[in-house]
């Protein structure tokens, strides 16, 4: 097991605001990806009164080798969840709300209708709040994507997670070209698009740059790049702790290719500080 370098050490945070967010989430019977995926930034975000809401339960129907979200028999769909998230956004006073989900291959629409209803409820209670959705691949089915895309979320996020050569190892239930389709179809529907990539899984710099090119070919607007951290001994090992200098290089290269926004660093996650992203590019 590789020893974490100094730049990977993070200060634990958590105060009154963090406790307030945790209590609110609990009171409204909600899940956050911050806690379910054991995000290293969760206390900082909670302290800033932000959270990424995770809908459709806490159990995923897929079992990716990098992810700390529980795999197993999925939860029943909570019909009160959209209204509860709308209320949570109101109480937190969020200017930008991020909503993601576990993958629900078991549902007839793979969860698309729940995303639609959450977007509607957030906007009904918070008309000035921008909404970002981070969606699964929905098996690339346009009829499911339409349910979400026709609500015109302010940002459509779908993570490609890694370079194509590592998909079988990292995301055995996914397909790189299918994920590109999710983003490309969103762009064709007039949406602002965003995606995220993890590093430290064995990818090369050349592969990363080729992946950037593939994303720019379909005009993806925003890119996040962060270090993969092993959630447990049952998950993939970290092959490399990428240096801050390399993260800076990736950001420079990506911006030069035409991405409007790039967040690149060891602790960057797909929705980390998403509220700071500019939507008027």
CATH of the domain at 61: 3.20.20.70
Most confident among 5-9, 36-40, 222-226 (mean pLDDT): 222-226
The mean pLDDT value of the chain amounts to 83
pTM, two decimals, is: 0.84
pLDDT band at residue 41, thresholds of 50, 70 and 90? very low
- Please give the pLDDT value at position 191: 97
Q: Please indicate, yes or no, if residue 21 is contained in any of the structural domains.
A: yes
**Residue 9 covered by a domain:** no
In a domain, 231, yes or no: yes
The segment with the largest mean pLDDT, out of 86-100, 117-131, 224-238, is: 117-131
Average pLDDT over residues 10-30: 61
Asked if residue 5 belongs to a domain, the reply is no
Q: What does the pLDDT read at residue 9?
A: 67
For residues 147-153, average pLDDT: 98
Cα–chain center distance at 24: 21
CA 219/CA 258 separation, integer angstroms: 9
For 250-262, the pLDDT digits (tens) are 999 999 999 999 9
Under the banding of pLDDT at 50, 70 and 90, the label for residue 276 is very low
Which residue range(s) make up the domain with 140? 15-276
Condensed to tens digits (0 to 9), the pLDDT of residues 98-145 reads 999 988 899 999 999 999 999 999 999 999 999 999 999 999 999 999
Distance CA 188, CA 218 (A): 9
pLDDT-based confidence at residue 237 (cuts at 50, 70, 90): confident
What is the Cα 138 distance to its own chain's centre? Answer: 15
Given a cut of 60, is residue 31 above it in pLDDT?
yes
Residue 94 lies in a domain: yes
d(CA 75, CA 157) in angstroms, rounded, equals: 24
What total of structural domains would you count in the chain? 1
Task: Give a yes or no: residue 214 inside a domain.
Answer: yes
Asked whether residue 7 is assigned to any structural domain, the reply reads no
- Domain-located, residue 96: yes
Q: What is the pLDDT of residue 270?
A: 75
pLDDT at 154: 95
Rounded to 10°, the helix 112-125/142-149 angle is 0
Asked whether residue 182 carries a pLDDT value surpassing 90, the answer given is yes
Which residue bears the tokens 């609500």?
151
Among the listed ranges 20-24, 73-77, 112-116, 151-155, which one has the minimum average pLDDT value? 20-24
Q: Is the pLDDT of residue 48 over 60?
A: no
Per-residue pLDDT at 74: 84
- Higher-pLDDT residue of 243, 94: 243
Q: What is the pLDDT at residue 32? A: 52
What is the mean predicted confidence (pLDDT) over 274-278?
Answer: 48
């Amino acid at each position: 097991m590789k020893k974490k370098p100094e730049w990977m050490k993070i200060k634990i945070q958590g105060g009154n605001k963090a406790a307030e967010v945790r209590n609110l989430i609990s009171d409204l019977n909600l899940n956050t990806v911050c806690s379910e995926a054991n995000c290293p930034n969760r206390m900082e975000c909670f302290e800033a009164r932000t959270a990424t809401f995770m809908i459709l339960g806490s159990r995923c129907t897929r079992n990716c080798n990098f992810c700390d979200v529980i795999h197993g028999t999925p939860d029943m769909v909570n019909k009160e969840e959209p209204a509860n998230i709308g209320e949570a956004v109101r109480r937190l006073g969020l200017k930008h709300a991020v909503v993601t989900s576990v993958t629900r291959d078991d549902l007839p629409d793979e969860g698309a209708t729940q995303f639609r209803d959450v977007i509607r409820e957030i906007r009904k209670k918070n008309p000035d709040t921008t909404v970002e959705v981070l969606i699964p691949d929905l098996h690339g089915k346009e009829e499911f994507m339409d349910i979400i895309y026709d609500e015109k979320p302010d940002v459509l996020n779908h993570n490609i997670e890694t370079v194509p050569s590592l998909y079988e190892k990292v995301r055995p239930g996914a397909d790189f070209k299918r994920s590109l389709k999710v983003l490309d179809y969103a762009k064709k529907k007039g949406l602002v698009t965003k995606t995220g990539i993890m590093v430290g899984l064995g990818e090369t710099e050349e592969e990363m740059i080729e992946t950037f090119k593939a994303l720019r070919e379909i005009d993806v607007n925003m890119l996040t790049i962060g270090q993969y951290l092993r959630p447990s001994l049952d998950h993939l090992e970290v092959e490399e702790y990428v240096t801050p200098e390399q993260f800076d290089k990736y950001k420079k290269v990506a911006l030069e290719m035409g991405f409007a926004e790039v967040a690149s660093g060891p602790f960057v996650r797909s929705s980390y500080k998403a509220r700071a992203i500019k939507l008027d590019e």
